[in-house]
Amino acid sequence: MTNLLSQARYITIIGVLSLLLASVAAFGWGALKAIKVIAVIITTYGQDSHIAIYLVEVVDVMLIATVLLISATSIYDIFIEKLPVRDGLVAHNLYELKSKLSSMMILVMAAKFLEHLVEWGNAMDTLLYGLAVAAVSATLIALSYVSSKE
């Protein structure tokens, strides 16, 4: 039974490969978005009023791709074997992974809020959206702080 449970950790390879594939796809998607933004900047001589939104969208996609990559390397590092990679690319335990994911989620939410802010349709909707982002961010930060004290 011990050997079976010890070998069962290799099932996480399915998650690692899935996350890695999703990360590659997301980085490709981000690269295509970046190429489109560069084309818009060049063809409009930087005069298109939506360039800032497009650039924030590129950053947003790259952040998501990075979260997927960090998750893949971290799960592999935690369950299969240690990886010789930089500390920023891997979490060495589940608490650290949760903390990194929470931080990246906050960055993605901030990028989405910035997109919403630039489009500015209704002031009340923007205020409520910002408050929701702030509440979720504060909750994630508080949970991370409380967890670190345990």
Q: How many whole angstroms separate alpha carbon 118 and alpha carbon 53?
A: 7
Q: And the tokens for 87?
A: 């500390």
User: What would the mean pLDDT of 84-102 be, rounded to a whole number?
Assistant: 82
Contact 58, 33 (CB under 8 A): yes
User: What would the mean pLDDT of 85-110 be, rounded to a whole number?
Assistant: 82
Quick one: pLDDT band at residue 149, thresholds 50, 70, 90? low
Quick one: pLDDT band at residue 57, thresholds 50, 70, 90? confident
Q: What pLDDT digit, counting tens, does each position of 108-135 carry?
A: 888 888 777 777 777 788 888 888 888 9
Q: Measured between alpha carbons, how far is residue 53 from residues 5, 76, 94, 149 in Å?
A: 49, 35, 34, 39
Total domain count, the chain? 1
Residue-level pLDDT at 110: 84
Domain boundaries, position 130: 2-149
* Prediction pTM value: 0.77
Residue-level pLDDT at 17: 96
φ, ψ (nearest 5 deg) of residue 9:
-60, -25
Residue type, 131: L
